[in-house]
C-alpha cells in the first residue's frame, strides 16, 4: 500500500506541475479528495521528490494568489446569468 501512495503522490505532482492544475482539478482527475491531493503534494512529495515538490509548490502558490480573481469572475457570471434569466421572464 505504501508504494501505491508514493506513486500517486508523484503522479499528482507531475500532473499539477505540467498542467498548472489546481488541487480541485487534480482531485477530480484522479478521483481522490482535495485533502488527499494536498497531503500527497505538500507532505509526501517533499520526502519523495524534492525538485518536483518545489515545482508543485510554485504552481499552488500561484493558484492561491489568483484565487480571489477566479472567485470574482465566477460571482460576476452568476449574477449576470440571474439578471439575464429575469429579463427573459
Nearest to 34 by CA among 23, 42, 45, 44: 23
Ordered by start, the domain boundaries in the chain are: 2-88
pLDDT on residue 70: 83
Q: 33's torsion region: left (phi>0), alpha (psi -120 to 50) or beta? A: beta
The set of residues, in sequence order, having a beta carbon less than 8 Å from that of 59 and lying 6+ positions away, is 16, 17, 20, 21
Is the pLDDT at 21 greater than 90? The verdict is yes
- Calculate Rg over the CA atoms of the chain: 17
pLDDT on residue 71: 86
Q: What's the mean pLDDT in 2-14?
A: 89
Is the pLDDT at 2 greater than 90? The verdict is no
Is the pLDDT at 15 greater than 90? The verdict is yes
Amino acid at each position: 500500500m505504501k508504494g501505491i501512495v508514493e506513486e500517486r503522490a508523484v503522479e499528482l505532482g507531475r500532473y499539477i506541475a505540467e498542467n498548472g492544475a489546481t488541487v480541485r482539478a487534480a482531485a477530480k482527475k484522479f478521483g481522490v479528495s482535495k485533502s488527499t491531493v494536498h497531503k500527497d503534494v505538500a507532505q509526501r512529495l517533499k520526502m519523495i521528490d524534492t525538485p518536483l515538490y518545489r515545482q508543485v509548490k510554485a504552481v499552488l502558490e500561484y493558484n492561491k494568489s489568483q484565487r480571489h480573481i477566479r472567485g470574482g469572475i465566477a460571482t460576476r457570471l452568476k449574477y449576470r446569468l440571474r439578471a439575464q434569466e429575469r429579463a427573459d421572464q
